[in-house]
Amino acid sequence: MNILPKSQYEKIFHGSQITTQHLKLVLEESGITSIIRDDGESALRAGYGADHTNDVKLFVDKKDVLKAKHIIANTVDHLDTKNIPDADLEELAKQKDAVIMMTKSTNTRKKETYRRSPFNVFINIIIIIYSAWRLSPLLVSESLPTWRIVLSGSLIAVCGWALINHFSKKV
């Protein structure tokens, strides 16, 4: 049953949670974004209490389906979990969850730097030029209203500070 008939994602694998998590990590290493849908976990969280241990589905974007199926086919061929005891598989699953949590926490700590757009830089330059022109009568000893001097001077200072910060910070 397809809940979202016009979804951009297509199911490419279903199986145990451990195998699906492993395949998701392999796909992410290859640059393919994937989504895991665990109906059993959803049922437990909703209070229905059903346990579907092998009903975990892996979805990828439709544009990446062929590449993802190829990667999964190669990965599943190399997976031989029949000779590994269940206790070891559970330990591996816990380790993978820890790796996922570490990756998420590391990615959220990166500070995004704000860069002004070229249009914003252009507007700052125009405001500085206009404010300097409005103050130019002071160069020939004409008197200007105090508010005009304060306003134009403030605009020059703020826009100049913004431009200096823009060009002095490295991305």
pLDDT score at 145: 92
pLDDT score at 49: 64
Q: Are residues 69 and 134 in the same domain?
A: no
> Which residues form the domain of 148?
118-168
Q: Are residues 81 and 135 in the same domain?
A: no
Residue 3 covered by a domain: no
Q: pTM of whole model > 0.75? A: no
Residue given tokens 């998701």 in the structure block: 24
pLDDT score at 101: 46
Nearest to 67 by CA among 103, 7, 26: 26
What's the number of domains the chain is made of?
A: 2
User: What is the pLDDT averaged over residues 6-33?
Assistant: 85
